[in-house]
Amino acid sequence: FGTVRRCGTMERILYLEVGRLAVGGSGEYWFKAEDVNISQNIHDTIMSALTGSAHKDKDDVVPQSRKRSSSANEASKPISFTRRRPTGSKAYGISPV
């Protein structure tokens, strides 16, 4: 539940906003229940799960990111470069200066 941003209910409608780490990516989910009590019970369950996960140890809830190997050096890091136009080719749509 670490990716839930907001959760709410109004009448039979349940609203859930999730972050980019959610399985389906970031976005909003809108559910319409058959009864007001159903949507309220789902909302209460989600809120208690969110509150319960906030009290757990972070290692249990969110996986740790991998540390970079100590063998990584400057040569193994990615390099960035800019792409240049091959010599002799003409640029079209550009006025000469």
| Cα-trace Rg, the chain | 25
Could you say which residues of the chain have pLDDT below 70? 1-2, 53-97
d(CA 10, CA 7): 11
pLDDT at 66: 55
Q: Where are the domains of the chain?
A: 4-57
CB of 40 closer than 8 Å to CB of 11:
no
Q: Looking at the domain that runs over 4-57, which CATH code has it been given?
A: 2.30.29.30
pLDDT of residue 8: 92
Residue 65: the pLDDT is 56
40 contact partners, CB below 8 Å, separation of at least 6: 9
Q: Which two tokens stand for residue 97?
A: 């200066």
Where is 55: in which H helix or E strand?
helix 36-55
Q: Taking the model in full, what pTM does it have?
A: 0.49
